[in-house]
Amino acid sequence: MAAALLSSLLIFSFLSLGAPLSSNYYQKTCPNAESIIRKAVTDATKNDKTAPAGLLRMHFHDCFVRGCDGSVLLKSKGKNTAEKDGPPNVSLHAFYVIDNAKKALESACPGVVSCADILALAARDAVVLSGGPSWDVPKGRKDGRTSKASESTQLPAPTFNIAQLQQSFSQRGLSLEDLAALSGAHTLGFVHCASFNNRIHNFNSTTGIDPSLQPSFAANLRRVCPANNNAKNAGVPMDPSSTTFDNTYYKLILQQKVVFSSDNALLSSPKTRSLVSKFASSKDAFSKAFVKSMIKMSSINGGQEIRKDCRVVN
Ligand code: HEM
Ligand SMILES: *[C@@H]1O[C@H](CO)[C@@H](O)[C@H](O)[C@H]1NC(C)=O
Ligand SMILES: *[C@@H]1O[C@H](CO)[C@@H](O)[C@H](O)[C@H]1NC(C)=O
């Protein structure tokens, strides 16, 4: 009896952690929340064309570690090294945009809007400002109190093959369709040499360069990133239109001109390969699938509180 009661309490508290998100969550408590966040993203992007890519990637990192709970925003403190200072952190940036939005929100409606929601909305605004689709973002996320560098290794690596990618996504309730659509975020941004050096130097004991790279594309990557001689900031844009959210990424996959093994891996399962072809021939089909999968990814549950400062727990 007591055990049954206890277990039903446990189930109840588990379910309440996962309180459903809703579109009108801040309608009464902070009606201008969305326009305040949009202004922070728009203002930043005027001076910093790299901000949208930074925000979109940051939201992905947030959701893949402990759910979308703003854990990626927390800074290291004392002996604890935070997620953002963990190994896959190269190029995580644009944190200041979230700070600016939070500052404005705290003066309009103090203690109401979570940092996790700010990041989810900023990622949507980043896509829209880059010429991509818009969508209604469900809100009501809570911020978490834990962020550990060791957990950032739970993120998928650019060296992953299709089986590893599928496993990483399915552990978060995301399908191969979600993988194919969300990878299209790699239409935006910049990549450092360290993220693809494995494909252009000492690929394996028989071949120096990954044979699945188109040869002139590989030659250019080697020009930018010579062996043992990478300037810290050296790298290449994700695609030639790397500030425009479009379906070029999928056309480049078909030409084997994408930087990561994980991008190229979308060709190695029939399901993802057929989606790559579909998205390459229709920006509209890509946009629809991307929106659906973003809403799914950004609904992965997380935290407990509404942080006052996005970089530190209350
Ligand atoms: C499928 C597994 C994925 C892997 C292995 C992966 C890996 C990476 C890596 C290694 C970088 C480059 C870091 C650097 O060299 O600076 C990167 C950049 C980026 N990723 Fe992914 N990613 C994945 C999925 C996603 C998803 C789902 C999104 C968002 C929905 C995303 C958005 C981005 C963006 C926008 C950038 C550019 C960031 C910038 O320019 O600052 N990625 N990704
Ligand atoms: C990334 O993490 C390393 C530790 O793994 C840290 O030394 C470095 O400062 C971090 N870089 C950024 C940009 O936060
Ligand atoms: C090196 O990679 C190529 C292309 O993927 C492959 O055909 C070959 O078997 C690999 N060699 C070794 C030793 O793994």
Report the alpha-carbon distance of residue 168 to residue 159 in Å, rounded: 13
The residue whose CB lies within 8 Å of the most ligand 1 atoms, and thus the one to mutate among 57, 97, 168, 246, is 57
Ligand nearest 94 Cα, by number?
A: 1
**Ligand 3 — pocket residues by CB below 6 A?**
204-207, 211
- Residue nearest to ligand 1 atom 14, measured at CA: 191
Q: End-to-end distance of the chain based on CA atoms, in angstroms?
A: 38
Pair type for strands 235-237 and 190-192 = antiparallel
In the chain, CATH 1.10.420.10 covers 162-295
Please tell me the CATH code under which domain 9-155 is placed.
Answer: 1.10.520.10
Assess whether 192 carries a catalytic annotation: no
Environment class of 222 (CB within 10 Å of its CB; exposed 0-12, middle 13-18, buried 19+): middle
Task: For a ligand 3 pocket test, name from 206, 210, 213 the mutation site with the most ligand atoms within 8 angstroms of its C-beta.
Answer: 206
What count of other Cβ atoms lies within 10 Å of the Cβ of residue 241?
Answer: 15
pLDDT score of 230: 72
> Which of 186, 242, 299, when mutated, tests ligand 1's pocket best, judged by the most ligand atoms within 8 Å of its CB?
186
pLDDT tens-digit readout, 24-52: 999 999 999 999 999 999 999 999 999 99
Q: How many whole angstroms from 156 Cα to the centroid of ligand 3?
A: 22
CA distance 277 to 180: 11
**Closest-lying ligand 2 atom to the alpha carbon of residue 149:** 5
Tally Cβ neighbours within 10 Å of residue 269. 18
The whole-angstrom separation of Cα 119 and Cα 64 is 13
On the 0-12 / 13-18 / 19+ scale of CB atoms within 10 A, 177 is: middle
Taking a C-beta distance cutoff of 8 angstroms, is the pair 295, 187 a contact? no
Domain with CATH 1.10.520.10 in the chain: 9-155
For ligand 1, which residues put their CB under 6 angstroms from it? Answer: 50, 53-54, 56-57, 60, 90-91, 93, 156-158, 160, 165, 182-183, 185-186, 188-192, 195, 260, 262
Catalytic residue among 59, 61, 93, 192: 61
Buried b (16+ CB within 10 A) or exposed e, 101-139: bbebbeeebeeebbbbbbbbbbbbbbbbbbebbebebbb
Q: And the tokens for 60? A: 């992905």
Q: What is the rounded CA–CA span in Å between residue 45 and residue 131?
A: 13
Residue ranges for the chain with pLDDT beneath 50: 1-16
pLDDT at 2: 46
From atom 8 of ligand 3, which residue's Cα is the shortest distance away? 206
- Domain 162-295 is of which CATH architecture? Orthogonal Bundle (1.10)
